[in-house]
Amino acid sequence: MDRTEAKRIIEALLFATDVPLPVSKIKSTLGEIDLKILRQLLHELKDEYERNGHSFSLVELAGGFQIYTKPEYSKWVGELFRGRRVSRLTAASLETLGIVAYKQPIIKADMESIRGVNVDGVTATLLERNLITAVGRDNRPGKPLLFGTTPEFLRYFGLSSLSDLPRIEELEEYLKARQAEKEKMDAEIDAELGLTRLSSYGTQEEVPFESPDNVLEDKAGPDKTEDPEEGKSASDLEGDSPEGGEEKEQL
């Protein structure tokens, strides 16, 4: 086959898949084609889409290639699929996911040590979303499971490989920007539909992201428990007693 026909076949394969398509898979599907030529054709397609001003682009991520709608058209795409919209990750999930990404392979006990809270629920969510997976067992007593990130993690964050991860000190800003972008797009869609939604930071579990290195440091000062009677005046306290503060009748 000539280059033009090969390019059109590659394009058809890319439109038919909903996951990043590895170059090796494209090559095996096409049969006899030089790997160097295949990569050239992929980049030619990418350039064509950009040059002709299409509403989509060809992106290399998670070890493959995938066609993505450009962000400026997300409002209309979101309205089309609003019934199937995937819930956003909470701040707690993002924090735990960041810990796994930078500390993998890691066991749940170490995640909890870093975060300072139980991570059973968050870990279950990340496993269900296929963002993390069990990659083995640790040698410590009980042989706890070790967790690492998945190709879906790379696809979700638009990364080609783990080496594309930002430096750990940049992670907080990176995740906040990603979350803000998603919330902005959803807000635009909801405004069109006349809907309201809670912020992703609206639940008690969700906390701001902390760098895995920073949260390892001991936090100074004992934990404080708020006294429910603190700040009440003497008259307020009297008013809480039966019969306006009068002593109970002795039995």
Burial of 140 (0-12, 13-18, 19+ CB in 10 A): exposed
**102-127: b or e for each residue (b if 16 or more CB lie within 10 Å)?**
bbebbbbebbbebbeeebeebbebbe
pLDDT tens-place string over residues 32-53: 788 888 899 999 999 998 898 8
Q: Which pLDDT belongs to residue 143?
A: 92
Domains of the chain: 3-69 (1.10.10.10), 83-193 (1.10.10.10)
Using CA atoms, how far apart are residues 85 and 185, in angstroms rounded to an integer? 12
Output the CA torsion sign for 63, 68, 72, 78. negative
pLDDT band at 199 (very low <50, low <70, confident <90, very high): very low
Of residues 217 and 92, the one with the higher pLDDT is: 92
Under the phi-then-psi rule, with left for phi > 0, alpha for psi from -120 to 50, and beta for the rest, what region is 211? Answer: beta
Using CA atoms, how far apart are residues 245 and 129, in angstroms rounded to an integer? 57
